[in-house]
């Protein structure tokens, strides 16, 4: 080969040594013996960026010069390049290199402060993949150490939604799946709170997981189960995962006696309420501490969608069921309605024909009842309007009562 041979442009790569103006053609470098390549790399030690670029240029160069780069990382104690070296080896599953780096004390300058080495995994689980975390664990990083606020790597991985990291940690026999942080929150609770359904599914796959452990919700100062917090936050996919697990108690109460079904009503989560009502173990009329059922709650809040769903449930047979304070659901709807509005009148005013029709099917509904003194009844509103469909519904109800 002629000494002045230059590879075609499509195969030619070059590396410019910063500050020198010297360009090294990689294809030409590969023709050199290893001894000369090592001498060149030794001359690049003044700048880790140049040496790192040379290592990344070609697999042969990477294998040959990796040791040189690692030695220089330790001599400079560079946090940035130390992390790159460790993560790079872990990502490709190179346990030998990872073990060697750990044995040489790379965490000492990566973590910045003495005594912080054992918390490196807490950082890694936020972004790294299953294979990376698996390699780090295989090389001896502790999987259950508690960091600030009592959080373990599994807690952090669950809260950030890193399914790969969660999967790797769950493979370890040393991981405590029900560990609690300062607020008593388990990894399952944290994943349910944040809405990570795939992480919830993975955690439920462990037979020892506490599916109903109540943790303190710092936002509302209540002790709630994973299902309850998922209902409160409106995470439909998480609720679906939890309801599919036979260990989950769908009627668990919090400190105020509220159940997941109460929370789905108060937060207007129609899809979640539908899932709960379809569960074979649900108690649709379970009272809270004040004695009010979810039906009372729906009526009091004017949640017509929820109220309609309850009317269609087989457990709801009496709309006049009394709470401990002797309020009936329709009485609450009338008392709390704005401007004397009853649930039926409000549905009519908003032209919710389906809801009106379903409400009128209940024998106890009085179309002439006013929500409050001076308020308007459903019949008065419909008769004074021009909607023929509403008039037909009213006429049908009146005729059915005559018979």
Give the pLDDT confidence of 119-132 residue by residue, as tens digits: 899 999 999 999 99
* Domain ranges, ordered by start, for the chain: 60-141, 350-402
Segment 16-32 mean pLDDT: 48
Residues in the chain: 403
Q: pLDDT value at position 357?
A: 83
Output the pLDDT for position 363. Answer: 74
Inform me whether the pLDDT recorded for 18 exceeds 80. no
Is a pLDDT exceeding 70 seen at residue 280? yes
- Find, among 310, 304, 313, 309, the residue nearest to 342 by Cα: 304
Question: Which of 69-83, 179-193, 300-314 has the largest mean confidence?
Answer: 179-193
pLDDT of residue 350: 66
Query: 190-194, 224-228, 366-370 — which is least confidently predicted?
Result: 366-370
Q: What tokens does 338 get?
A: 């704005």
Average pLDDT over residues 366-390: 79
Q: What is the mean pLDDT of residues 321-341?
A: 67
Q: Are 257 and 288 in contact (CB under 8 A)?
A: yes
Residue 16 has pLDDT above 70, yes or no: no
Average pLDDT rounded to a whole number, residues 239-246: 97
What is the residue-averaged pLDDT of the chain? 80
Q: Is the pLDDT of residue 289 over 80?
A: yes
Dihedral sign for Cα atoms in the order 309, 313, 319, 322 = negative
Higher-pLDDT residue of 311, 38: 311
**Predicted TM-score of the model (pTM):** 0.71
- The pair of structure tokens assigned to 157 is 């991985």
Cβ–Cβ < 8 Å for 352, 394: no
| 174-193 burial: b if 16+ Cβ within 10 Å, else e | ebebbbbbeeebbbbbbbbb
Q: In the predicted model, is pLDDT for residue 249 greater than 50?
A: yes
Q: What pLDDT, on a 0 to 100 scale, did the predictor assign at position 67?
A: 59
The predicted pLDDT at position 43 comes to: 52
pLDDT recorded at residue 8: 41
Q: Is the pLDDT of residue 14 over 70?
A: no
Distance CA 242, CA 244 (A): 5
Which region among 7-11, 129-133, 240-244, 336-340 has the lowest average model confidence (pLDDT)? 7-11
């Amino acid at each position: 080969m002629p000494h002045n041979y230059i590879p075609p442009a499509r195969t030619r790569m070059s590396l410019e040594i910063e500050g020198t103006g010297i360009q090294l053609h990689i294809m030409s470098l590969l023709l050199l013996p290893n001894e000369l390549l090592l001498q060149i790399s030794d001359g690049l030690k003044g700048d880790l960026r140049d040496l790192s670029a040379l290592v990344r240029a070609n697999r042969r160069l990477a294998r040959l010069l990796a040791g040189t780069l690692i030695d220089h990382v330790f001599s400079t104690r560079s946090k940035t390049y130390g992390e790159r070296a460790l993560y790079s080896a872990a990502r490709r599953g190179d346990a030998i290199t990872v073990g060697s780096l750990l044995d040489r004390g790379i965490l000492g300058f990566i973590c910045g402060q003495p005594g912080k080495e054992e918390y490196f995994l807490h950082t890694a689980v936020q972004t790294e993949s299953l294979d990376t975390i698996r390699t780090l664990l295989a090389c001896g990083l502790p999987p259950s150490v508690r960091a600030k606020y009592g959080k373990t790597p599994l807690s952090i991985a669950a809260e950030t939604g890193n399914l790969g990291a969660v999967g790797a940690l769950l493979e370890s026999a040393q991981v405590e799946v029900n560990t609690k942080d300062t607020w008593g929150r388990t990894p399952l609770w944290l994943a349910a709170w944040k809405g990570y359904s795939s992480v919830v599914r993975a955690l439920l796959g462990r037979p020892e997981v506490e599916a109903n452990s109540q943790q303190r919700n710092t936002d509302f100062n209540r002790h709630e189960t994973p299902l309850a917090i998922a209902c409160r936050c409106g995470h439909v996919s998480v609720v679906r995962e939890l309801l599919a697990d036979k260990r989950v108690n769908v009627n668990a109460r919090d400190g105020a006696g509220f159940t997941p079904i109460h929370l789905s009503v108060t937060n207007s989560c129609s899809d979640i309420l539908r899932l709960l009502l379809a569960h074979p173990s649900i108690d649709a009329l379970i009272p809270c501490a004040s004695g009010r059922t979810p039906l009372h709650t729906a009526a009091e809040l004017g949640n017509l969608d929820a109220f309609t769903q309850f009317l269609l449930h087989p457990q709801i047979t009496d709309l006049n069921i009394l709470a401990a304070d002797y309020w009936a659901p329709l009485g609450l709807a009338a008392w709390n309605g704005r401007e004397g509005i009853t649930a039926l009148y409000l549905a009519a005013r908003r032209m919710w024909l389906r809801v009106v029709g379903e409400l009128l099917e209940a024998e106890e509904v009085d179309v002439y009842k006013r929500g409050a003194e001076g308020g308007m009844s459903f019949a008065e509103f419909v008769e004074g309007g021009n909607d023929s469909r509403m008039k037909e519904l009213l006429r049908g109800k009146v005729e059915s009562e005559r018979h």
